[in-house]
Amino acid sequence: MVVSTVTVGGIYALATVVALATGIFLWNRREQTAAQPLSVGSVAAAVWAGGLFVSMLPVEGLAVQGIRVMYFGVGVGLAAMFVFALEYTGREQYVNRRLMALLAIHPLLLAAFAVVNPGELFFSGLDPTATIGVTQQWGPAFWIHSAYGYLLVVATSLLIFELLVRSTRALYRGQAVLLAAGVFAPLPLNAVFLSGLVEFDTTPLGFVIMCTCFGAAMVKYRFVDLSPIARRQVIDSVRDGMIVVDTTDRIVDINPAANKMLKTDDLVVGHAVDDVLTLEESKAAYEKLTASLEAHEQTVDLGDVYYHIESTPMYDGRDRHVGWLFLMQDVTAQKRRERELETQIEKLDTFAQIVSHDLRNPISIANGYIDQTRETGNLENLDRVETATARMEEIIDDVLELAREGQAVTEPTTVSLQGVARDAWEHTETNGASLSVETDTVINADPERLTRLFENLFRNAIDHGTNPDESPDALTVALGVTDETTTKAVLYIEDNGVGIPAEKHDSVLKDGYTTNTNGTGFGLAIVARIADAHGWDITVTDSDRGGARFEISGVSKPWGPSSTTSGSSGSRDEVSRHCQTQSGR
């Protein structure tokens, strides 16, 4: 193969400049994982190619010195590339003083043999008068060096290839392919030269390919900016979310569980944390968790979900901080349970206050009449004691019912609104009042607890809906549905009575609220508990009929198209007459 001296010199010069530029670029980012040894390796390649370029110069004595200097780059470059492979593939723990000392033996011996050439063991001849550069003839020491160098290059390439095989991320697979190709590229071109097929050293062509691969890995696959510093620590199969972030606040790795929690995918790898986290609460939590190089943990409230997050600083084998490992656990169920327990505790406190307050009066009355009976022997006092104990039983029954109705409805069934309302009306002392079911529909509910809800609302309307000087016969209670869709409905129960003052709309549903000195104040509180147990919302407002109106929203329906049967006036009257007849039994 005939190549001009100018062409060969140009190849050597190009390889020198490209390798040196790559080395400088990497050195400026030497704090990143594996960037420093790769920078040293690139600069060593520049020394190798630069020595060959010097050997091309027509200066007496300088050509041979260029060849000798070249071997300084050869030895250092081979060692640096091996160290790079160890760090890049997560084996930093092996890069210690002992290994560095062992790797330094070859470059030192190679430099000594190249300069001193004892007994012509390394060079058996150097001819600076050759057509292209300096013709080298090698001794046994050179071939031992070559065998060692080839083994080191193969080992380096295999380490990177192993990462390629076990990596599941397209980003790091792309990096590994280009880096392995770059590291291996000079070897076959060096073999071409050693075989004598060409007159000049073709290894620098491999350096150009090598640096091109490194550049592509840095530009396309963000090598240096993003390195697989924790691939082994992030286990795809774990149920908890795991995220690795480097020191530049970029996501290095993420497992499927974390993707599901953040509602993202693997494409977020390489993106800044600030771009991925959209909620201010998430960003604030990240800032707090990474404020210092210490392990932290925090529970983050993201509205409808809670995540417990632990942050742990990550270090490489040489104790350099390289990023953060975040473990995320969905604790929403736990938080809900905690809130339920807190609610139960509050209810118990309320019950205790109510019982201690409301029972105190009838107990005092009963004790007073008992004392009078002992003093006077008047047994008529026992009737008053019986009335007091009956009052205590009523209070206790209401408190127990209030506690039971707060339990969530977990297995609702399909019920007819009209059927449940009719049953509830039959169980209510109506005193001549009438019920009008204006709309019938089918809903999902616990039939027994829905019956109690209606009973309490009906009883409240009858007890509080009329003035004392008015007859209950004039009172009409209406039940129907508004804002009905295929899946939801809003129920209303209203009357034409005296109504509830607007300033008391929010108070009447609270535990213990009553305007009746003989009442417990639990009737409407039980209604609110039953609605909440179904997941419904209940509000109090004014009725167009002049009385009170209770609206229950969020009531679910069992199927699509509305199953409502809007009652005609005749059907409403029929229901009303039926209910009045039943109540008169």
Write a three-state SS string for 221-290. CCCCCCCCCCCCCCCCCCCCEEEEEECCCEEEEECHHHHHHHCCCHHHCCCEHHHHCCCHHHHHHHHHHC
**The pTM is what?**
0.48
What is the mean pLDDT of the segment spanning 313-320? Answer: 73
| Helical axes 203-219 vs 5-27, angle rounded to 10° | 40
> What HEC string does 273-333 produce?
HHHHCCCHHHHHHHHHHCCCCCCEEEEEECCCCEEEEEEEEEECCCCCEEEEEEEEEECHH
Q: Is the pLDDT of residue 157 over 80?
A: yes
Q: What is the pLDDT of residue 512?
A: 53
Is CATH 3.40.50.12280 what the domain over 241-330 is classified as, yes or no?
Answer: no
What is the mean pLDDT of the segment spanning 491-499? Answer: 89
Pairing of strands 434-437, 241-246: unpaired
Using DSSP, how many helices (H) and how many strands (E) does the chain show?
17, 16
pLDDT digits (tens, 9 = 90+) for 450-490: 988 898 899 888 887 666 555 556 788 999 998 777 788 89
Q: CATH for 409-583?
A: 3.30.565.10
Q: What is the pLDDT of residue 584?
A: 34
* Block residue for tokens 């039971």: 404
Q: What is the pLDDT of residue 119?
A: 87
Give yes or no for a contact between 37 and 87, defined as CB atoms under 8 angstroms apart.
yes
CA distance linking residue 434 with residue 158, whole number of Å = 89
- Tell me which of 1.20.1070.10, 1.10.3720.10, 3.40.50.920, 3.40.920.10 is the CATH number of domain 5-219: 1.20.1070.10
- Close Cβ partners of 344 (under 8 Å, ≥ 6 residues apart): 406
The mean predicted confidence, pLDDT, of the chain is 81
Comparison of pLDDT for 277 and 226, the residue scoring more: 277
What is the mean pLDDT of the segment spanning 36-63? Answer: 88
Give yes or no for a contact between 12 and 52, defined as CB atoms under 8 angstroms apart.
yes
Q: What is the pLDDT of residue 409?
A: 76
> What HEC string does 28-48 produce?
CCCCCCCHHHHHHHHHHHHHH
222: left (phi over 0), alpha (psi -120 to 50) or beta: left
CA distance linking residue 284 with residue 296, whole number of Å = 14
Lowest-confidence segment of 95-99, 351-355, 421-425 by average pLDDT = 351-355
CA distance linking residue 93 with residue 317, whole number of Å = 4
pLDDT digits (tens, 9 = 90+) for 550-582: 999 999 988 643 344 333 333 334 334 333 433
Q: 405 falls in which pLDDT band (50, 70, 90)?
A: low
Comparison of pLDDT for 132 and 251, the residue scoring more: 251
pLDDT digits (tens, 9 = 90+) for 128-146: 776 677 788 889 999 999 9
CA distance linking residue 289 with residue 294, whole number of Å = 9
* Residue percentage of the chain with pLDDT more than 90: 21
Using DSSP, state whether 447 is helix, strand or coil.
Answer: helix
Q: What is the pLDDT of residue 267?
A: 74
Q: Is the pLDDT of residue 10 over 70?
A: yes
HSE-up of residue 72 (Cα within 13 Å, Cβ side): 13
Q: In terms of Cα–Cα distance, which of 76, 48, 86 is closest to 207? A: 48
- 76's tokens: 């250092």
Give yes or no for a contact between 531 and 491, defined as CB atoms under 8 angstroms apart.
no
Q: 358 falls in which pLDDT band (50, 70, 90)?
A: low
Q: What is the pLDDT of residue 340?
A: 79
388: left (phi over 0), alpha (psi -120 to 50) or beta: alpha
Q: What is the pLDDT of residue 75?
A: 92
CA distance linking residue 389 with residue 198, whole number of Å = 116
pLDDT digits (tens, 9 = 90+) for 159-196: 888 877 766 667 677 788 888 888 889 999 999 988 88
Q: What is the pLDDT of residue 574?
A: 37
CA distance linking residue 436 with residue 404, whole number of Å = 29
Buried b (16+ CB within 10 A) or exposed e, 375-413: eeeeeebeebbeebeebbebbeebbebbbebbeebeebe
Q: Is the pLDDT of residue 419 over 60?
A: yes
What is the mean pLDDT of the segment spanning 87-102? Answer: 86
Lowest-confidence segment of 172-181, 184-193, 300-309, 507-516 by average pLDDT = 507-516
